[in-house]
Amino acid sequence: MSPVNLFFLFFATAAGSAAAQDQYIFPYGGSPSKQFIQEIIQLTGKERPKICYLPTASGDSEQGIIRWYELVHDLPVEPSVQKVWISSYNQQKSFEEVLLGVDAIVVGGGNTLNMIAIWKAQGIDKILKKALEKGIVLAGGSAGSLCWFDNGTTDSRPRELSVVEGLGFLPYSHCPHYHSEEYRRPLYFSNIEKGIFQPGYAMDDKAGIIFKNGKVFKVLTVTEDDHAYFVSLKNGKAVEEKLQATLLK
């Protein structure tokens, strides 16, 4: 084989390997736990991964940032935080440089509608898509879980829960806080029965699902009372299927 053909064979092989990069998304129903962070560490395949926390939904809450550092202080990670309330004077790196330079990104809870709007204004939504394609692990709870799906319900507006469109990285609907907020489950059922939502996944606060290449890979919980569910439509009625989960110690 000629050197030219060898070059193109190598290039095609390398491109194919890059395209085959596994993509992991780990949504959970509520706040992060140490056990969930340990799972994220394993997914990165790194001994000491760089994990960036995105507190956009909480308005870059300092309290939430402190809790993040407290949560991971004794874990084998290099933690960081990327705020969106920044200026060119105090941050010289672009959002893309920061977010594509880590091994995992964890999104915090808060106002989902505001978060998505800000991400789109800043181009962070497109950067997160690049991160996923690059093999960077994406994770988060509450607003940080809802954002990865097609759509779901959010308390981001006054008076009542409303529909919010996510980034669509996972082609399903989603309901966080499934057992801890009484209006979540009946409204989720209603939206599926009316055809507003496609079938999807609901999660109690301390349960989560790891998706690998868009498919369920592992279901996890940190208590025996928290579960994850698949909710679909059968004979015009929404039905839930409790998913078998691994209990993390």
Sorted by where each starts, the structural domains of the chain and their CATH numbers stand as: 21-247 (3.40.50.880)
Token pair for 19: 């395209």
Residue 15 has pLDDT above 80, yes or no: no
Mode of pairing for the β-strands spanning 24-28 and 137-141: parallel
Mode of pairing for the β-strands spanning 24-28 and 104-107: unpaired
Residue 4 has pLDDT above 90, yes or no: no
Which of 159-168, 210-219, 221-230 bottoms out in mean pLDDT, i.e. has the lowest? 159-168
Sheet hosting strand 207-212, strand order edge to edge: 78-81, 50-54, 104-107, 137-141, 24-28, 207-212, 215-221, 246-247
Give Cα 76 distance to the centre of its chain: 21
Nearest to 43 by CA among 94, 7, 87, 77: 77
Question: Given this model, what pLDDT does residue 154 score?
Answer: 84
What spatial distance separates the first Cα and last Cα of the chain, rounded to whole Å?
55
Mean pLDDT on 178-206: 94
**Distance (Å, whole) CA 199 – CA 243:** 14
**Distance (Å, whole) CA 37 – CA 34:** 5
Q: What is the pLDDT of residues 146-162, one digit of tens each?
A: 999 999 988 878 877 87
- Of the pLDDT bands very low, low, confident and very high (cuts 50, 70, 90), residue 58 is very high
Question: Given this model, what pLDDT does residue 9 score?
Answer: 46
Token pair for 233: 């439509």
- For the beta carbon of residue 181, count every other beta carbon within 10 angstroms: 16
Question: Given this model, what pLDDT does residue 155 score?
Answer: 80
Mean pLDDT on 170-175: 97
Mode of pairing for the β-strands spanning 104-107 and 137-141: parallel
- Residue 164 near residue 153, CB atoms below 8 Å: yes
Q: What is the pLDDT of residues 68-117, one digit of tens each?
A: 999 999 999 999 999 999 988 889 899 999 999 999 999 999 999 999 99
Token pair for 176: 């966080």
Question: Given this model, what pLDDT does residue 7 score?
Answer: 45
Supply the angle between the helices 112-122 and 124-134 in degrees, to the nearest 10. 90
Site of tokens 């926390």:
53
Residue 142 has pLDDT above 70, yes or no: yes
Token pair for 49: 């991964």
Residue 48 has pLDDT above 80, yes or no: yes
- Catalytic positions: 142, 177
Site of tokens 């799906």:
149
Residue 25 has pLDDT above 80, yes or no: yes
